[in-house]
Amino acid sequence: MADYRYQVINKKGKTESGKISANSQMEALQLLTSQGFVVTSIKPAQRTKLRSRTALFPISVKEVSLFSRQLSTMVSAGVRIRDAVQVLSLQPVFSRRFRRILTEVVLLIEGGMSFSEAMQHTRVFDSLFINLVIAGEAGGVLEEALIRVADFYESMVDLQQQVKSAMAYPIFMMLFAVMIVGVISFFILPNLISAFGGDAPVSGIMAMLLSLNDILTNHWLLLLIGGIALIIGGKLFLKTKYGRTVKDLFAKLLPPVQRLRKMTAVERFTRTLAVLVSSGVDIPTALDLSSEVSESNSIVNAMVRAVEEIRAGETIHGALQRQGVFPPIVISMVETGEETGKLDVVMFKVADFYRNQVKAALKQLISLVEPIMILFIGGFVAFLAYTMYDAIFALQQTIG
């Protein structure tokens, strides 16, 4: 099948443009006409390879979620896509950078591009969003596609917020420990050493803390630049397949974390697959995009093999079962969805099930981490206190 770009007049007398897939230009014309459109232009579209998010600082999922919801609401109310994006580009609720991107999208649409092509051209929207919009444009159901996009990203943001809330206490305890070390290294130790003449011999932990004080005092600018570079580089690295491998290796060291990561990957995969299939995206593309969203190397590699088997005539559940990366319940539900022709509905139910499992596993993990963190902080503070008192006694003996 080939893709064709078209311009039509809908039943409300408004002009629309987009892409449609058909075996021939005549078939594409018939499909559009059967939907009640008056076709004013139709021509073969040049295929371009979709790019994933490539920006150094990509748009936050929260901002994409808000944009997709407001856009779907405006399009549902009958506002043209170009006008809707232009209105949103002026909203102060979005960052200045995102408003500039939306302004660029408006200009590209005015230049003759479809909404999906304009999004792709900016190279900041992920391939999932773009493919859902392409499916909506091709099927003449852009309004429904945008609603699904909004629901998907809102669900993703909600889960991220729950993870952040659950991790707030452990992170606070870690920062508290760092603050204690900082106070001792920068304020208590220097005053303590100066009280004993400034040249008293120190060793062990005290010597290490004094060395840390000296390094941070004399080289703070280099350490700050290095820390920022390390954080940015680390974030970019963790988004690559090698970074995912590193996360998988660390997760294997802690079985509860590994179990949580596996369930999270399955939840993302099944929810993304449900949204894509319900929007009319073909199965191979849907499986490929869903595996990327899962952020699991095992699922990504398995889907490469599964897509090849499906294209060779294998059933979806048969191809997935052979990969050995999904629990039996997922395979069984996929088989049910294939047999009933409601794969998207079934996958939404599976995703909801695993979402609840992720919440329960996260609470269980935090319940284990909290007492461990308390014991660690308490033991750490006690050790520092013992070290300081021991050093004070040693200094007094030296002076005496």
pLDDT surpasses 90 at 58: no
**CA atoms of 9 and 40, how far apart (whole Å):** 7
Q: Are residues 183 and 43 in the same domain?
A: no
Tokens representing 243 are 């970074």
Query: Average pLDDT, stretch 35-57?
Result: 59
- Among 343, 305, 347, 339, CA closest to 324: 305
Tokens representing 399 are 């002076």
pLDDT tens profile 234-269: 877 877 777 777 877 777 777 887 888 888 889 889
Q: Please give the residue that has the higher pLDDT: either 37 or 95.
A: 95
Residue type, 307: V
Residue type, 101: I
pLDDT tens profile 205-245: 667 777 777 787 788 889 889 989 998 888 778 777 777 77
Q: Is residue 399 part of a domain?
A: yes
Q: Is residue 233 part of a domain?
A: yes
- Among 380, 394, 395, CA closest to 181: 380
Q: Is residue 135 part of a domain?
A: no
CATH of the domain at 289: 1.20.81.30
Give yes or no for a contact between 18 and 5, defined as CB atoms under 8 angstroms apart: yes
Q: Please give the residue that has the higher pLDDT: either 382 or 317.
A: 317
Q: What is the mean pLDDT of the chain?
A: 80
- Among 18, 17, 19, 23, CA closest to 2: 23
- Among 51, 35, 53, 67, CA closest to 137: 35
Amino acid 292: pLDDT: 82
Range in 60-69, 85-94, 331-340, 380-389 with the lowest mean pLDDT? 380-389
CA distances, 95 to each of 67, 69, 91, 109, 250 (Å): 11, 16, 9, 21, 35
Q: Is residue 317 part of a domain?
A: yes
Query: Average pLDDT, stretch 182-202?
Result: 69
Tokens representing 317 are 């559940």
Q: Please give the residue that has the higher pLDDT: either 331 or 127.
A: 331
Q: Is residue 115 part of a domain?
A: no
Give yes or no for a contact between 8 and 38, defined as CB atoms under 8 angstroms apart: yes
Amino acid 346: pLDDT: 92
Amino acid 50: pLDDT: 44
**CA atoms of 24 and 31, how far apart (whole Å):** 11
Query: Average pLDDT, stretch 61-88?
Result: 89
Q: Please give the residue that has the higher pLDDT: either 192 or 309.
A: 309
Q: Is residue 158 part of a domain?
A: no
**CA atoms of 379 and 324, how far apart (whole Å):** 43
Q: Is residue 153 part of a domain?
A: no
Q: Please give the residue that has the higher pLDDT: either 109 or 244.
A: 109
- Residue 398 sits at the vertex; the CA angle it makes with 397 and 400, to the nearest 5 degrees, is 60
pLDDT band at 194 (very low <50, low <70, confident <90, very high): confident
Domain that holds residue 28: 1-47
User: Which residues lie across from 38 on neighbouring strands?
Assistant: 9
Tokens representing 208 are 């290490």
Q: Are residues 330 and 199 in the same domain?
A: yes
CATH of the domain at 24: 3.10.20
CA atoms within 13 A on the CB side of 397: 8
Express as a percent the part of the chain with pLDDT over 70. 88
Amino acid 21: pLDDT: 75
- Matching residue, tokens 């748009």: 59
For 179-195, the DSSP string reads HHHHHIIIIIHHHHHHH
Amino acid 44: pLDDT: 66
Give 266's contacts (C-beta < 8 A, 6+ positions apart). 294, 326, 327, 330, 350, 354
Residue type, 311: R
Q: Please give the residue that has the higher pLDDT: either 102 or 136.
A: 102
Q: Is residue 89 part of a domain?
A: no
Q: Please give the residue that has the higher pLDDT: either 32 or 202.
A: 32
Range in 107-121, 186-200, 295-309, 335-349 with the lowest mean pLDDT? 186-200
How many domains, in total, are found in the chain?
2
